[in-house]
Structure 1
Amino acid sequence: MIFHKMTLLYAGVLLALFSFLPLAEAGVIRAIRVEGSQRIEPETVRSYLKLDVGSSFDAEATRNSLNALYATGFFKDVALEQEGDTLIVRIIENPMVREVTFEGNDAFAADDLKKIVTTKARAIFDRGKTERDLAALRQAYRVKGLFLAKIEMLTKSADGNQVDLIYRISEGEKSKVQEVRIIGNKGLSEKQLLKKLLIQPTDWLSWYTETDTYDREKLLSDQNQLRNTYLDNGYVRVRVDSSVAELTPDRRAFLVTHAVNEGKRYKFGPIRIVGDFTELPEAELYKVLTVAEGDWYSQQRVRDSAEKLMDLIGDFGYAFLDIRPDKMINDEDNVVGLTYQVSKGKRVYVNRIEVSGNVRTQDNVVRREITLVEGDRFSASKMRTAKNKLQGLNFFETVEVTTPPAGDAELVDVKIKVSEKPTGTFTLGAGYSSQESILGMASISQNNFLGKGQRMVFSVAHSGVRNEYNISLTEPYFMDKKLSVGFELFRRETDQTRYSSVLEKANGGSISLGFPISEHLTDTIIYKLVETEVHYTGSDPTLASQVIREQENLSPYLASIIGNVLYWDYLDSRMNPTSGRSHRLVTEAAGLGGDVRFARVVTDNHIYIPIDSDKDWIGHLRGRIGFEEGMGEKIPIFERFFLGGSTSLRGFMPSGVGPRTAQGDSYGGSHFEQLNTELFFPILGMTDKGVRGLLFVDTGYLGESDLPTGVSDAGGVRVSTGVGLHWNSPFGPLRFTLGTPLVKEPNDKTRIFDFSIGSMM
């Protein structure tokens, strides 16, 4: 054994000596020659050497030179040799990367994968870097849930010492989350906890939401979300002991398990507000709190109360206000006392308002959403409102508002930094509805026209019932005032063959002027000028009703209409309201010029009432009332009221109720009353995916006090009921409704099933 070790030692020494034999002779370097360089200049090679002209041929310096050259990553092979008094540096350069491509990628776009790899086109090929790139790509696929993905890198030689890098990817199937379990929960149900989590078990919508994809970061977020859910329901001592994801034996799915220790449930104890703010009576501060002694503890309500105090006190000019809620947990009585410590700081005023990040959007478009001006006393609520308004414009990806000191202790600058996003869209749409058959549409819109915040739209729509062309432009701040001015031009053809044997052709336009009266109330004045033609669509004109013949003989007629719209909005969201109310009052009068005279009033009211704290169950009441008077003349048929269909009385066809001619044509009415009662409810916990069930009862009446000859009376009140499904799907809104009339008249036209499917491409 000793002999063997000595043999290895001598062999190593001899190898080291022979390795540097060409440089072993003592002497001085008189010249350095670089051989093999193609892209890299010889002078660049020499700059990495630890030897130079005039220095000795030194073994240690030689080793250091070799290491330095290899460390650059430029060379595949390097050799240093001595020829007399000349040092020869022989190099073989690493190839240059000509192109980086990906094959077999579907989960990621090629551009996204190119952002992950550090080796780019025109870079020097480095085997170490490409190995790290491979590891980064594999990690990206694991985050995406594709744990079975296989990635290999191929190199393909090209002219000029270049190579193409090809990443060949076999993605395999995603490793789905098969099951999510929560153990240790008693006070809160597993269903209540699961719906708050980012990672969900596979369901029929997973292809769209991808919530069933495992991700370590999501798992950690869910751990925190579980804790927050418990804190919002009174469990102040809750612990999430572990969150574990285990692969099934076939590595195709995960089992996620969260272990919790709930502890006891606590209520709010005494609540106090202390500090140095004295501008308002103490009772006014307590009024804005959303917490109350005796209620179950909620961390979210503690934060909400702090924000409301921030707005209330901050409006007195305190930009550096500090409100700290201190909790005192009493484990014996299971209560949490709460003390809001208020430190108002100094009262400050606005020095300058600065806007940055807006390249296309003009400065005044941003500034006009801010009600504060330079010199005003600082207001926290006005700043919060300004930020919300800027985000609501939908012009910007992000909006950041900061209020740093302006040098003077009593001044702050308001700095608004925005990041713009594209505001122009080209939209194609297609769909089908039981009311209009096949529907196609196209539109071009620009929400920030010329960077002035103006909205311009051109649209075309075609279906089995209507053809419509429309162009409009709206200026929300006319002459830099809170005046909304707009115009619209349109051409519309509506074929009512299914309901009234008539075809309407309308050409016209409108101008409008809108302005806010208060925070929740706006008023809009509208003038419309419309020319309308009425044509009988039956095969035999002699069979047309007298009413239709009269309408056809009078057409085309010109309607000059001036109207006013008052709109009150107290909804929490216009797109998907869950609480609040809205009211619309529309008054119109025709007769200022034109061929027809009438006046009408329509009111439309909505009330949304959340039934449960999570707002999964929502009650909705809609009430509409309309009345119109011909002012001594007959009201044209297309200016009358009609009821029936998915937007008024479900279970009846459009124009399916009301006065009707002997030939079966709908005549419409001069007044109507409509009440829709709805209950939205969750289906299989998919509310957050835009799916909701619906129960409804519709009630309506359409009447006419002065019926012409040949038109029968409308009868009484109609009532219908049914169920529905609403889904805000990835390809547009889907609405399915099954309705059945409970109260109807013999001449009514009914339809049990209504549905519409929209697609945005």
Structure 2
Amino acid sequence: MSSRAENASIWRGAVAALLALALIALLAWPVAAQNFRFNQFDVQGNQRIEASTILTYANINPGEAVSAGQVNDAQQRLQQSGLFESVEVVPRGSTLVIIVQEYPTINRINIEGNRRLNDDDLLPLLTSQPRRVYSPSVAEQDAAAITDAYRQAGRLTATVSPQIIRRSDNRVDLVFEVTEGRVVETERIAFVGNREFSDRRLRRVLESTQAGLFRAIIRRDSFVADRIAFDQQLLTDFYRDRGYVDFEVLSVTSELARGRDAYFITFNIREGQSFDIGEITVVSDLPEIDIDEYRDVIRISSGNTYSPRLIDNTISRMENLATRQGLRFIRVEPRITRNDADLTLDVEFAVVRGERVFVERIDIEGNATTLDRVVRRQFDTVEGDPFDPRAIRQASERIRALAYFSDVQVEGRQGTSPDSVIVDVDVEEQPTGSLGFSVSFSSDVGTGLAVSFAEQNFLGRGQAVEFSFSTAQDSRAFNFGFVEPAFLRRDLSFGLDVFYNETNQENAAFDTENVGLRTSLGFPISEYGRMSVFYRISEDSVLNVPANSSPILQREEGSRVTSSLGYGFSYDTRNTGLNPNAGVLLRFNQELAGLGGDSEYIRTTALASAERGIAREEVTLRATIEGGALEMLDGNSRFTDRFFLSSRQMRGFEPRGLGPRDTNAVNNDALGGNYFAVARFEAAFPLGLPDEYGISGGVFYDIGTVWGLDDVVGAGGAIVDDDIHFRSSVGFSIFWDTAIGPLRFNFSRALETQPYDQTREFDLTIEARF
């Protein structure tokens, strides 16, 4: 029994194995694929799109043998064309039926739920347009563009959903439903690793600012992720300019608050040590190079704080010298030797021969409004010149400094030959015009209204046009200005100003009126110096002088024409000089009147100002000295020609509150003087309040005077005192940067005065633009 059972089991196993092999063979046997041959095509449902276009997308030829998979591929191609809302491909014998439903036409586009950004800001971002075919994918891209605009405005939680409303004749209204969400602010900006500079000082370097408790009322700052990379570069430039060659931003963390309405940003930095410039040498193996000549153009010296910017400027001077000498392909390589023991960097400028590579051409793209020549004139390099990467980088910085473009990319690529380079300039334009309405209050002139228009890139020509009109309680002013920065296509600026000013008894018992124009030409004469020449013609009037005013003013009543020619010089190193923490400003102007007209005089003014940061740049010291002299060549000076000091030039005194005055006249008229001199000393510093409040303080000391008259016989034949009497004042200032404009509070006390002076203990200035 056991043996028979075992045999039966073996037979059953064998049968099962044979059945399994048969099943596998059956499944593996190739099945003949179903093939179609279509002699006719029936396209249904199309209204705008031609049947031939649809058959082109299907890509099936008459009489051609096609498989079921190829028919399915034809349906997928039609669906993916973006032309149809639905596609159905049905074989019916020798006829292929294609049934389509076209996407509707957009009737109109609406954006709903947007309050912070208006339609004029958002509609230009859309690719979808009325009277065009609606595409869901394009609508989703448009929704993403609107969302990104809100993200740039600090509303990171904003959502945008595209919806369609069906209309007749296969039309739809496209509606973007916006949920704006809350503004995500930068609640706090902190730094880790900074020893030399406080968080407060470093926050002033960044473009991002932080919001605080009161900032929700005063001013809000939104978080923009793209701004972080720019802030890192600003920090790096700040430290490198101060000799911290090893400075590095190790990381930046942006932590979203639990309520998802604010970010906490932390910059983890490594400062390193500040290095000074050590020994400076110039070397060259080229026989045509005179080392002494190249050494003479160096403006830095041992002991200066090391800065890459200063090294680049020195290299530019040397390479410019080589160009003037007719030497081509000369390059200057800085070779730095580090001395960690005394924290100095020895700099060796090696004058070498560079590669023979030429600029084939300069291609400019992205400038829809700005003319090519406006961008091209920022290049010292033209087609055919030797390729100088440093000159190209400097041109890139000059293009950015124009402030015409939101983004500037300048790159070189291989030209049509191995020894040529094509310079690609890709720019993205931004608005350059502004229309302003302002309300101002000053204790000098009371409440005033002003309208101003300014365009810095007029008609894309790089020209500046300004117009302003203002009126206050007792004054009116109109000004129009035009500047061509590249007159005759050279580094020569041409300016034209037309002005009209009228005062109606402003701190005086009479009126004045000035109307005229001024033209000028300006040009650089050194790295930090600029010269200008100008011509001015004006009609200056003293009107409505009361009978009880000073006889001096009564004799000056009437109108005179002034025709004058002058020149001016300025030297400014405050932002671009050798020391990034200090700078000076020098101005000198001289005007000769008498080229026609009724007045003949020489008018001279000068100003010297210096500032420096101390206490780790927390405190800024400023000193300004200015003065002027009016020398009459024929006759006596007039009220409209003489000098007066404003309350900003001499704090603690009313406008026209000091200087010669006819105290015997009933009106106690201020007469002004032919000479003035004033010195101002001030210190600005934080008050210990969180810097997001925008409140800082300062102290000042002013000393000055106005003196000198040609005619000193006043009322009743009395002699007006026009001698030099120095006045002085001290005070404390509070600066408050608010959303409605900058506020400045000056609390002053006059120390030295004359009995007839008019003093002031407090003044407030505010300006708002909207």
Give the TM interval when normalised to the shorter protein.
Answer: 0.7 to 0.9
| CA gap 1:304/1:627 in 2 versus in 1, 3 angstroms | closer
5 Å-filtered alignment, 1:562-581, equals: 562-572=564-574, 579-581=583-585
Tell whether 2:259 aligns with 1:250. Answer: yes
- How far apart, CA to CA, are the structure 1 residues paired with 2:456 and 2:234? 36
Partner of 1:676: 679
CA-CA distance at 1:729 after TM superposition: 7.6
CA-CA distance at 1:709 after TM superposition: 4.1
Tell whether 2:215 aligns with 1:213. Answer: no
| CA gap 1:132/1:617 in 2 versus in 1, 3 angstroms | same
Tell whether 2:75 aligns with 1:70. Answer: no
Pick which of 371-380 and 190-199 moved more. Answer: 371-380
State the one-letter code of the partner of 2:671: G
- How far apart, CA to CA, are the structure 1 residues paired with 2:500 and 2:587? 29
Q: Which runs of 5+ in 2 are unaligned?
A: 1-32
Q: Which runs of 5+ in 1 are unaligned?
A: 1-23
| CA gap 1:587/1:47 in 2 versus in 1, 3 angstroms | closer
Partner of 2:587: 583
Partner of 1:8: none
CA-CA distance at 1:435 after TM superposition: 1.1
State the one-letter code of the partner of 1:434: S
- How far apart, CA to CA, are the structure 2 residues paired with 1:192 and 1:266? 20
Q: Secondary structure at the match of 1:48?
A: helix
Tell whether 2:159 aligns with 1:150. Answer: yes
Partners of 1:696 and 1:722 within 8 A in 2: yes
5 Å-filtered alignment, 1:505-524, equals: 505-506=513-514, 508-509=515-516, 518-519=525-526, 520=529, 522=531, 524=533
Partner of 2:643: 641
Partners of 1:559 and 1:590 within 8 A in 2: no
TM-align CA RMSD: 5.4
Q: Secondary structure at the match of 1:67?
A: helix
5 Å-filtered alignment, 1:574-653, equals: 579-589=583-593, 594=598, 599=601, 601-612=603-614, 617-629=620-632, 631=634, 635-643=637-645, 645-653=646-654
Partner of 1:6: none
- How far apart, CA to CA, are the structure 1 residues paired with 2:730 and 2:154? 45
- How far apart, CA to CA, are the structure 1 residues paired with 2:392 and 2:66? 73
Out of 175, 183, 197, which is 2:184 matched to? 175
CA-CA distance at 1:681 after TM superposition: 2.7
Partners of 2:276 and 2:343 within 8 A in 1: yes
| CA gap 1:207/1:227 in 2 versus in 1, 3 angstroms | farther
Pick which of 232-241 and 74-83 moved more. Answer: 232-241
TM-score by length of 2: 0.75
- How far apart, CA to CA, are the structure 1 residues paired with 2:384 and 2:68? 76
Partners of 1:119 and 1:130 within 8 A in 2: yes
- How far apart, CA to CA, are the structure 1 residues paired with 2:498 and 2:35? 96
- How far apart, CA to CA, are the structure 2 residues paired with 1:350 and 1:220? 31
Greater relative CO (CA pairs within 8 A, separation 6+): 2
Q: Secondary structure at the match of 1:166?
A: strand
- How far apart, CA to CA, are the structure 1 residues paired with 2:91 and 2:281? 88
Pick which of 655-664 and 280-289 moved more. Answer: 280-289
Partner of 2:510: 502
Tell whether 2:709 aligns with 1:708. Answer: no
Out of 547, 551, 554, which is 1:550 matched to? 554
CA-CA distance at 1:741 after TM superposition: 0.8
Partners of 2:652 and 2:748 within 8 A in 1: yes
Pick which of 356-365 and 726-735 moved more. Answer: 356-365
State the one-letter code of the partner of 2:620: W
Q: Secondary structure at the match of 1:579?
A: strand
Partners of 1:348 and 1:410 within 8 A in 2: yes
- How far apart, CA to CA, are the structure 2 residues paired with 1:46 and 1:667? 93
Partner of 1:20: none
- Residue-by-residue CA offset, 1:531-579 (whole Å, 9 max, x unaligned): 6242146xxx6xx24527834xx743434454534434345569x9962
| CA gap 1:208/1:391 in 2 versus in 1, 3 angstroms | farther
What is the total number of aligned residue pairs between the two structures? 724
- How far apart, CA to CA, are the structure 2 residues paired with 1:140 and 1:29? 52
- Residue-by-residue CA offset, 1:59-89 (whole Å, 9 max, x unaligned): 2233222322222233333333344433322
Partners of 2:144 and 2:160 within 8 A in 1: no
Partner of 1:3: none
| CA gap 1:123/1:388 in 2 versus in 1, 3 angstroms | closer
Partners of 2:456 and 2:463 within 8 A in 1: yes
Tell whether 2:78 aligns with 1:54. Answer: no
Pick which of 193-202 and 739-748 moved more. Answer: 193-202
- How far apart, CA to CA, are the structure 2 residues paired with 1:514 and 1:759? 33
5 Å-filtered alignment, 1:287-436, equals: 298-317=307-326, 320-327=329-336, 339-345=348-354, 428-436=437-445
CA-CA distance at 1:719 after TM superposition: 0.9
| CA gap 1:572/1:437 in 2 versus in 1, 3 angstroms | same
TM-score by length of 1: 0.75
| CA gap 1:405/1:222 in 2 versus in 1, 3 angstroms | closer
CA-CA distance at 1:504 after TM superposition: 2.8
CA-CA distance at 1:152 after TM superposition: 2.6
| CA gap 1:384/1:566 in 2 versus in 1, 3 angstroms | farther
Partners of 1:214 and 1:254 within 8 A in 2: no
State the one-letter code of the partner of 1:502: F
CA-CA distance at 1:600 after TM superposition: 5.1
| CA gap 1:136/1:588 in 2 versus in 1, 3 angstroms | closer
5 Å-filtered alignment, 1:113-124, equals: 113-114=122-123, 119-122=128-131, 124=133
- Residue-by-residue CA offset, 1:19-70 (whole Å, 9 max, x unaligned): xxxxx98764332212222333222222233544324574223322232222
Partner of 2:268: 259
- How far apart, CA to CA, are the structure 1 residues paired with 2:498 and 2:732? 38
| CA gap 1:334/1:625 in 2 versus in 1, 3 angstroms | closer
Out of 735, 756, 759, which is 2:765 matched to? 756
Partners of 2:494 and 2:522 within 8 A in 1: no
- How far apart, CA to CA, are the structure 2 residues paired with 1:319 and 1:481? 23
State the one-letter code of the partner of 1:504: T
- How far apart, CA to CA, are the structure 2 residues paired with 1:176 and 1:488? 43
Identical-pair percentage: 25
- Residue-by-residue CA offset, 1:433-464 (whole Å, 9 max, x unaligned): 21111223345677788998887766543221
- How far apart, CA to CA, are the structure 2 residues paired with 1:140 and 1:478? 39
| CA gap 1:721/1:248 in 2 versus in 1, 3 angstroms | same
Pick which of 167-176 and 179-188 moved more. Answer: 179-188
